[in-house]
Amino acid sequence: MAPKIYQKPPLTLSQQADLLISRGLSGVSKDTLIEFLSRVSYYRLRGYTYPYQDNTLPHSPFISGFSWDYVKKDYAFDSELRNLVMDALSHIEVAVRSQLEYQLSIAHGSRWYEDPSLCYNSKIFSDNLNELKKHWNRSREVFKSHYETDYDTSVSPPAWMIFETTTFGTISKIYSNLRNNLSAKAEIAKYFGFSKSSTKVLVSWFQHLNLVRNICAHHSRLFTRSFIVRPMIPTSPPTKWINSIPSQDRVYFTICIILRLLDTCNPGHDFRAKLKTLMQTIRPEQMPSLGFPTNWKEQSLFAD
């Protein structure tokens, strides 16, 4: 049987607003909806209206008692959460990048990233190297122009240049593929408070945070998302951690990871305080969908 062809026609903003109102969305005028839909697409908004609709029935009517105010507040909360997370991830990414550049260059030279003997998988090594050089070639950084003007370009740039032009995703893949017997890999783990035997956990954290970063960068829904790439739970919990993790695929665990890494690489951060302020704007019954336990503020990780 051939797959169905999507045949729903495009709707004008007026038609989109009429559709939402006809399905029972209350507490908002058509003009306000049209203005909102002109800057936030109907399809994107569906991720925020979905919890307030009976999706088991045809046309997914809105459930009685839920109005536009709920949807609007959820959208605003998610936007603030993404901004908060994205800012925190920028500090973590810079720290990971810096540690990779420094530790490996000191131990294995300025062009260590071209040495396949440092890695487990030669195919992954080759793919990562190609990606690294592709990002370098696309870069318009001033230091890249300076290198190409003043130095022999038949020789690759040093790690501390080329890694500044690549993505967090490439960085996490390169770190993951490094052999575990490398002291430099262990030193990076140590910087972030992990033992050599726990490096796999740190790798999974980096991979998960890269996914979260991409979600935030594309302004996609974050707060009630179930993540595909799930980070590992530390077998040896840090001193300042949490008693239990309700779910590895919810944003609460992501936030715990961010806090744990920020405390190491940016100890003067205000993420903890800003998070507590933001969480006051969400309804208590929504907390489970984010993975937050009722006693989350009592966990040592969240203590001021």
Taking the CA of residue 164 as centre, how many other CA atoms within 13 Å lie in the half-sphere pointing to its CB?
12
Bridge partners, 53 (sequence order): 62
What's the number of domains the chain is made of? 1
234 in any annotated domain: yes
User: How many CB atoms within 10 Å of residue 183?
Assistant: 11
Please state, rounded to an integer, the average pLDDT across all residues of the chain: 95
41 in any annotated domain: no
Q: What is the pLDDT of residue 180?
A: 94
The string of pLDDT tens digits covering residues 236-277 is 877 789 988 778 999 999 999 999 999 999 999 999 999 999
Q: Give, in degrees to the nearest 5, the angle at Cα 34 between 30 and 40.
A: 135
Q: What is the pLDDT of residue 236?
A: 81
**End-to-end CA gap in the chain:** 59
The string of pLDDT tens digits covering residues 39-61 is 999 999 999 999 999 999 999 99
2 in any annotated domain: no
146 in any annotated domain: yes
d(CA 298, CA 76): 26
24 in any annotated domain: no
Contact indicator for 229, 188 with CB cutoff of 8 Å: no
The string of pLDDT tens digits covering residues 80-133 is 999 999 999 999 999 999 999 999 999 999 999 999 999 999 999 999 999 999
d(CA 168, CA 216): 13
Q: How far is CA 40 from CA 15, 72, 88, in A?
A: 15, 11, 25
The string of pLDDT tens digits covering residues 135-192 is 999 999 999 999 999 999 999 999 999 999 999 999 999 999 999 999 999 999 999 9
Structural domain containing residue 218 = 76-302
51 in any annotated domain: no
Across the chain, which distance is largest between two alpha carbons, in Å?
70
What is the DSSP annotation of 82-142?
HHHHHHHHHHHHHHHHHHHHHHHHHHH-TTGGG-GGGBS-HHHHHHHHHHHHHHHHH---H
- Residue range 67-84: average pLDDT? 97
